[in-house]
Each structure stands twice: as structure tokens, then as C-alpha cells.
């Protein structure tokens, strides 16, 4: 399974358009080679370099496994977005207070759908996925404010 973006390569800089310095919209993502037995996909974007704790930028679950593209500024149909570290649902772009931070777009193929509230925190989401992950893919983007 693979997750990629036409806007930046793995371990390279995310264009400012997709950050708090730009339009603050999600970059387009491509999803390939999802295992046939997948019942749903989960997408988690976080920043482990945040000063206090890992910062949750975007979480979407119950994505249809047939999804091959997530266009910019959109969320996959019939999926659920949860509240992020910004205190609201939806995408919140990179906005590091200092230095270069890494932003992990983690895609999980699950053998089931998740039954969670959109207010679920990252720990609750990860606990719900335990024992149900078929495969994982990752795309890392970098960002440093100018």
C-alpha cells in the first residue's frame, strides 16, 4: 500500500499553500495498492516534533478502501473527520513555532470500520485500531516557517 502526493516528495518540503502561511488546505493525496481484504482506511496526519506533545493535524476514518485520490481541500465521501489539536474537525496545516518539523501522513488499512465519535482523541482511535491493522503506509512532509 502506498500514499503519496503530487505536490511534494517523501521527506521533502510541503508547499506553503497547504500550511497556515498559505490557504491551509489539505494537499492532494494518492492511495495505491490497498489490500483486497480492507474494510476501511484511516488517515492520520500528525507532527511528532511539536514542543509539548505530538500535534494532531488531521484524522479521517472509515474511508472507503476503493478511494484512490483525496483531492486538495477535500475529505473522502462518507468518511468521518475528528477533532484535531486545533480544537476543531478538518485539516489544520503545518504551522511550526520554530525550526523544521516533520508531518506524517499515516494511512492504515483496517479489517473493519471504526465506531467512534468525531470527538475521539488520538489514543482512542489508535486503541480502536489495535489488532485490526492489515497494512500501513506513510508519507512524510517537512515544513519550516519563513
Query: Quick count: other Cβ atoms within 10 Å of Cβ 70?
Result: 24
Query: Cα–Cα distances in Å, from 102 out to 82, 92, 113, 116?
Result: 21, 14, 28, 27
Matching residue, cell 521527506:
11
**The pLDDT of residue 52:** 87
In the CATH scheme, what is the code of domain 2-143? 3.90.280.10
72's grid cell:
486538495
Which pLDDT value is given to residue 129? 97
Average pLDDT over residues 34-46: 98
What pLDDT, on a 0 to 100 scale, did the predictor assign at position 138? 98
Query: Residue 93's closest CA among 41, 39, 140, 46?
Result: 46
Q: Give ∠ CA 56-24-87 in degrees, rounded to 5.
A: 40
Domain edges within the chain = 2-143
- Looking at every residue in the chain, the average pLDDT score rounds to 96
H helices, E strands: number in the chain:
1, 9
Amino acid at each position: 500500500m502506498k500514499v503519496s502526493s503530487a505536490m511534494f516528495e517523501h521527506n521533502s518540503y510541503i508547499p506553503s499553500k497547504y500550511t497556515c502561511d498559505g490557504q491551509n488546505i489539505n494537499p492532494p493525496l494518492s492511495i495505491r495498492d490497498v489490500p483486497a481484504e480492507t474494510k476501511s482506511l484511516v488517515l492520520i496526519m500528525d507532527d511528532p516534533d511539536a514542543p509539548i506533545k505530538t500535534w494532531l493535524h488531521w484524522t479521517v476514518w472509515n474511508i472507503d478502501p476503493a478511494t484512490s485520490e483525496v483531492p486538495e481541500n477535500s475529505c473522502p465521501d462518507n468518511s468521518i473527520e475528528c477533532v484535531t489539536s486545533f480544537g476543531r474537525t478538518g485539516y489544520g496545516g503545518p504551522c511550526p513555532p520554530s525550526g523544521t518539523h516533520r508531518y506524517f501522513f499515516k494511512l492504515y488499512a483496517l479489517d473493519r470500520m471504526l465506531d467512534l465519535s468525531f470527538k475521539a482523541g488520538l489514543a482512542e482511535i489508535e486503541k480502536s485500531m489495535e489488532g485490526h491493522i492489515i497494512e500501513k503506509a506513510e508519507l512524510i512532509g517537512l515544513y519550516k516557517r519563513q
